[in-house]
Chains A and B, each alone.
Chain A
Amino acid sequence: GQSLEQPSEVTAVEGAIVQINCTYQTSGFYGLSWYQQHDGGAPTFLSYNALDGLEETGRFSSFLSRSDSYGYLLLQELQMKDSASYFCAVRDTGRRALTFGSGTRLQVQP
């Protein structure tokens, strides 16, 4: 099966940089993705890494190291609106199912 570990909560101040880590165990790795979810809302897709390295999309970047079964989401120039839960997810090559981590609640303070 699959399992993912990510911190339950992170606090940072406006304008700062925060990194949310995700380690995973999976029988067949197909890619690591990240989602953002505001309270009361639906998850929204942020980024996807299938290969090692850094993917940048505006203020958000995502990194993957397949040899370490590890990835992270980097949020720069934090804004109050970035306060949300962030989930990493892995896809299994065998079952094609998607498994999510339990989420990291990011609180951005003024």
Chain B
Amino acid sequence: EAQVTQNPRYLITVTGKKLTVTCSQNMNHEYMSWYRQDPGLGLRQIYYSMNVEVTDKGDVPEGYKVSRKEKRNFPLILESPSPNQTSLYFCASRTSGGQFFGPGTRLTVL
């Protein structure tokens, strides 16, 4: 089954404790991206990757890092999380036209 998976689905952490949210897709898509979704603000792109070792900033990259060492994986790294990074995060991969989204990761930073 074609899918995008994310882990963990839920995470509560404390300010400053580094964390990684993993994302994996099995559709051999070159393009992958990360979004955060906040009430009233819709989906905002954090980072995207056109292919292995090619990443670029989206609209809200501050406080986040990504890496793309393999085509299937695109982890999101928060080196020093802060409360304003409490949000719902989605990973997505894309074929021509549309994006396939993962199930989401709800992150709370205390």
A residues apposed to B, CB below 8 Å: 1, 31, 33, 35, 41-48, 50, 87, 89, 95-103
Contacts and interface: CB of A to CB of B under 8 A. Distances in A.
Chain A binding surface SS class: strand
The 5 tightest CB contacts between A and B, nearest first, are A45-B98, A48-B97, A102-B42, A42-B101, A100-B43
Chain B binding surface SS class: strand
Nearest to A45: B98
Contacts of B45: 97-100
Question: On chain B, which size bracket covers the interface?
Answer: 20 to 34
B101 A103 contact: no
Contacts of A48: 96-98
A42 B104 contact: yes
A72 to B, nearest CB: 17
